[in-house]
Structure 1
Amino acid sequence: DLYNVLLSRIPKDRLKLGKRLVSFQHINNINNINKGESPTLCSTLSQPSERVMVRCSDGTYYYGQVLVGADGASSAVRQSLFRQMKEEGTLPKVDQEEQQLRQVSLLGVTNPLNPKKHPDLRDSFSNFKIILHRNSPYM
């Protein structure tokens, strides 16, 4: 899967775990930071010298060429990206609308069960039940 491919390609000394992203910004003069100059912000990454600066909740900053945001639909990476795109006027209208619940999934995981205690397990077919709430798709 994608997670394992990415993990296998990142040197262990470069991997930062347990960090909470506060924001990120595109910058275009990363080479001048070591000279004491402030980075210049830019709206898109289009030049090889451009990078991304990530700010974490513990006050640390990291610089890199790629930021992979794989922390869910309500993620800090997504929220920061959408905020920047909205300020630039580049956020698509569909992404400005409230996310809507279109389905709810419930998944149970269990150890093997004893068919003597759970007679439905003796059947040669599967059983499932659906419970719907009158006024919403969930309870």
Structure 2
Amino acid sequence: MSLYELMLSQLAPANILKGKKILSYEENELGITVCCADDSTYCGDILVGADGTHSRIRQILHKNLSNRGLLTKADREHNSPVYVCAAGVAPAQSPEKYPFLKDPYVHFCDVLGSNGMGWSTVNIPDNQICWSLWMQLDMKNVAKVHQEFENPEFVAADTEPIVREFRNRPCPHGGTMGDLIDATPDALKSRAYIGEKMYDTWHHGRTVLLGDGRLIF
């Protein structure tokens, strides 16, 4: 059973809501109220934003604190894309081709190349191998990708412009990264733009933030 399924199995189905987009929230001494794009509202004691560095909760919290003059100088500074990253999952690889899959351990391998390039692999159950590739952006291209950078998730997009730079790079487990890339269905590949930012503000009032506070490789 995957970790995702295991976590879901511990929760009552009635407590899981999907397809919700938070627009705003308000809090007072009695609790906190979240307002969603479909005009629904939900009330509770605390609000936990656990959706990464581009968290909508983080954005609202920072805006509210900034309007009150309570946000730190570092958190007021703009977060810009620095790297472009492609990632994927190669399903059910052969232990004969990748002997490390025969042992019961998880292997994390990171390779730091030149010119701001790097790649990594990690094995997961069922002999699957996750991989990621990243390269530093040319500063003249930062403005062009800023809108996609604001998307908080990896997206299904054309990864070929990135992966072709890595096809002949050696895989830590043998062969090349191109072998893993070609073994990965397009549906299991994605792309994202990554920034470098260390936040100071992680909580205020009834709101707390979890997740990626520093996104670097």
The bucket for the TM-score relative to the shorter chain is 0.5 to 0.7
Q: Normalising by the residue count of structure 2, what TM-score does the alignment of the two structures yield?
A: 0.39
Q: Distance in 2 between matches of 1:11 and 1:111?
A: 31
Other-structure match for 2:38? 58
1:87 aligns with 2:88: no
RMSD: 4.0
Q: Distance in 2 between matches of 1:7 and 1:79?
A: 31
Other-structure match for 2:27? 26
Once the two structures are TM-superposed, the CA of residue 27 in structure 1 deviates from its matched residue by 2.2
Compare the two structures and name the one with the higher strand fraction: 2
Once the two structures are TM-superposed, the CA of residue 20 in structure 1 deviates from its matched residue by 0.4
1:107 aligns with 2:108: no
Segment of structure 1 superposing worse, 62-71 or 94-103: 94-103
Which residue identity does 1:75 align to in structure 2? S
Q: Distance in 2 between matches of 1:113 and 1:85?
A: 49
Q: Larger RCO: Structure 1 or Structure 2 (Cα < 8 Å, ≥ 6 residues apart)?
A: 2
Q: Distance in 2 between matches of 1:129 and 1:81?
A: 35
Q: Distance in 1 between matches of 2:64 and 2:53?
A: 16
Q: Distance in 1 between matches of 2:56 and 2:9?
A: 20
Percent of aligned pairs with the same residue?
26
Structure 1 unaligned residues grouped into runs of 5+: 29-49, 115-120
Q: Deviations over 1:26-71 (max 9, x none)?
A: 123xxxxxxxxxxxxxxxxxxxxx2111000001111101111112
Q: Distance in 1 between matches of 2:24 and 2:9?
A: 22
Please say which structure displays the higher CA radius of gyration.
1
Q: Distance in 1 between matches of 2:13 and 2:91?
A: 34
Instruction: Give runs of aligned pairs for residues 1-139 of structure 1, distance below 5 A.
Output: 8=10, 11-28=12-29, 50-101=30-81, 104-112=84-92, 130=113, 132=115, 137-138=136-137
Other-structure match for 2:166? none
Q: Secondary structure at the match of 2:136?
A: coil
Which residue identity does 2:63 align to in structure 1? R
Q: Normalising by the residue count of structure 1, what TM-score does the alignment of the two structures yield?
A: 0.57
Which residue identity does 1:93 align to in structure 2? K
Structure 2 unaligned residues grouped into runs of 5+: 101-108, 117-134, 138-161, 163-217
Q: Distance in 1 between matches of 2:37 and 2:58?
A: 16
Other-structure match for 1:41? none
